[in-house]
Amino acid sequence: MANIYAQVDEAQLKQDAASTLLHYGAEFYPDIITRAEGIYIYTASGHRMLDWTSGQMSCLIGHGHPEIVEVIKRHAQSLDHLFSGMISPPVIALAKRLVSLTPPGLDRALFLSTGGESNEAAIRLAKSYTGKYEVVGLSASWHGMGGAAMGAQYTHGRAGFGPVLPGNFVLQAPNPYRSIFRHADGTHDWETELEYGFSLIDKQSCGSLAAVIVEPIQASGGTIPLPRGYLSKLKEYCRKRGMLLITDEAQTAIGRGGDMFAFQHDGDGFVPDILTLSKTLGNGMALSAVMTSEEIAQTAKEKGFHFYTTHMNDPLPAAVGDKVLEVVVRDGLVEQAREKGKFLQAGLRRLQDRYGCIGEVRGRGLMAGVEIVLDRATKKPGFDLGDRIAERMAELGLWLKLGMQASFAGVYRIAPPIITTQEQLQEGLDIMEQAFAETEGSMPLYRKSPVELVQANL
């Protein structure tokens, strides 16, 4: 594939960026990225890095996937953007395919641009249906930058901008590694934790509880999978209070977590009242979705539910989403992600056995978290250490720095495209091994030399 930015003046671009771009909460990566293809990204100087964050956790089937490129070209010529009140074949096709993949109870869909938008719409839908306004989120949550989504998230972004919408409450996020709620044998007692959390919410509520919104795998909060059975138990609490349960699967759906939808891992036929999708659905294209039941959709319609944006049900991104689903199902990528995830987890746990700074390895499918600590006994986070190791990984050819900020729990969020091969996973694990071995403070636990350990993996 030809690189249209092969001859750029990187020094001039950096100068122009420094004088024109508005910063928005994260430091820019120092090199200019000029190409992305498959599972790799390339800098202007030609440095190649394995992209283990899939862009912004989005390029599920890789950068520049030829079938996606063809869909974009074809629809840019024939059906790109329409008035939001119009529908088109790609939108109908995507809705039909999505509904065929979800269990009964997720029967209707609408399409928007971003995950934040889809969560705004989902919360508004829940408020419209229930006639209530109070919303509950988890303490490790990230749901977007709009008013309702921001009010229901607690990982980062609340401070410095005045009050959020009224009626928001927080549940302690279940974190088996750090929770103070323990059984006598030391295991995580998430059921008591959840019961205690709702007892506090009941005391604070003015009797207008509308919804709970959760991620099945808490992504920005540390890549923490909810305990199996948690969603079903949470839905029981919701039912008793006349609330709806929203699952936000921006990062976890379409095979990423080893299931088509991560909520399916909960078992017992669990189905959320509302499901939101984004990132992985569009493979990097701005596309999101809200899905719900016939009953909720009809009731909300009768009550005058209103959510309208310029890019509602746009045909071009819908065509891309339809192709993403086709490829994932056709090529058996959900099952592959589940199996490759086992290989990835085994490799990460080997690293944990070799380096004392790795406090915990967790995740499902091709979505993993590696928590960096300064001391395993105290579990003190190692933000600076994690940054230094990640910088060395980037130098060696692995991009993995997303999420090392204190606001994101000091955890490497690993999410390579699910088309990644086992050999490419091993390539990334070898780079991680070398970076840990070469970074001061990683607390090696081995006697062999780092070179011998890397060679043992080859």
Q: Give catalytic residue positions.
A: 142, 215, 248, 251, 279, 413
Cα distances from 201 to residues 128, 167, 169, 205, 322, in angstroms, run: 21, 11, 7, 6, 40
Strand 40-43 and strand 108-112: pairing? unpaired
| Rounded CA separation 104/168 (Å) | 30
Q: Please, are residues 327 and 66 in contact by the beta-carbon 8 Å criterion?
A: no
| Rounded CA separation 123/400 (Å) | 32
| Rounded CA separation 280/294 (Å) | 25
Return left, alpha or beta for 315; rule: phi > 0 is left, psi -120 to 50 is alpha, else beta. Answer: alpha
CB atoms closer than 10 angstroms to residue 411: 26
The strand pairing partners of 249, in sequence order, are 277
- Residue located via tokens 């990528």: 333
| Rounded CA separation 239/245 (Å) | 9
| Rounded CA separation 252/364 (Å) | 9
Burial track 349-387 (b if 16+ CB lie within 10 A, e otherwise): ebbbebbbbbbbbbbbbbbbbbbbbbeeeeeebbbebbb
244-249, strands of its sheet edge to edge: 108-112, 288-292, 274-277, 244-249, 209-214, 134-138, 168-171
Closest by CA position to 215, among listed 251, 171, 188: 251
Strand 209-214 and strand 244-249: pairing? parallel
| Rounded CA separation 167/170 (Å) | 10
Burial track 298-320 (b if 16+ CB lie within 10 A, e otherwise): ebbeeeebebeeebbbbbbbbbb
Q: Please, are residues 202 and 126 in contact by the beta-carbon 8 Å criterion?
A: no
